[in-house]
Structure 1
Amino acid sequence: MFELVLGSNEGSGKVILLRGEIDIYSAPDFKDNLFQAMGDCREDIVLDCSELSYIDSMGLGIMVAALKRARQNDSNIKIRDPRPNVKKLFKITGLDKVFIMEELK
């Protein structure tokens, strides 16, 4: 099961908490909810991945599409506190060099 929770805006941008699993079944909802939460994307987006237990290539592709959209509006997407398995996937795919990776915990 997947859940996207809008957090409060903070100095580093709009925080969106990702909870659960993003896979082929939850990807359409993830995409719709993420793009709706991003809105016009005039500020940076922080994807808090501390409660994201799993993401597959489809979910990563949606994140890349969201990053492209954000950059078209002169903003960025940061990946915050990914769990070790999620962080490993970003590293294996090279996306840790594409996204800004933040670790606060």
Structure 2
Amino acid sequence: METWTIKTPDDTRWAVIALSGEFDLYAVRRLREPITTLIEDNGPWIALDLSQVWFIDTTAVGMLVRLVHHLRAGDGDLALVAPRGQVRRILRWTNLTCLFPVFDSLSDMLGDPATR
């Protein structure tokens, strides 16, 4: 993964992490600590903006599954925003689009009353 940014939009419980580049073993290692800190500071509601991610591997898929279970155990959730191309295909092929709320855009997620 090349970069990520973290933001918390106003009037929502969600912390949004926007990723870019490859979401792979290297990225998973680099993201563990920031995600743990984010959960401790802001609570168990995380949205991953994947609109700029063009590749995902099995390590990242495994991290997503573990993370959603961890967040839900803390009465939170994990939403995926705008997965494209190979990332969306992998999520569909592994049937993980049924596990996560998946939104086409951040504005769709924030505008959905169920996610506020």
TM-score by length of 2: 0.78
1:37 equivalent in structure 2: 38
**Percent identity among equivalent residues?**
24
Larger Rg: 2
* Structure showing the higher helix proportion among its residues: 2
Deviates more, 1:49-58 or 1:17-26: 17-26
* Structure showing the higher strand proportion among its residues: 1
1:2 equivalent in structure 2: 2
TM-score by length of 1: 0.85
Q: Which runs of 5+ in 2 are unaligned?
A: 107-116
Q: Which runs of 5+ in 1 are unaligned?
A: none
Alignment of 1:1-105 (within 5 A): 1-10=1-10, 11=12, 13-39=14-40, 42-104=43-105
Tell me how far 1:44 sits from its aligned partner.
Answer: 2.0
How large is the Cα RMSD of the aligned pairs?
2.0
Aligned residues: 105
In structure 2, how many angstroms separate the alpha carbons of the residues matched to 1:101 and 1:21? 19
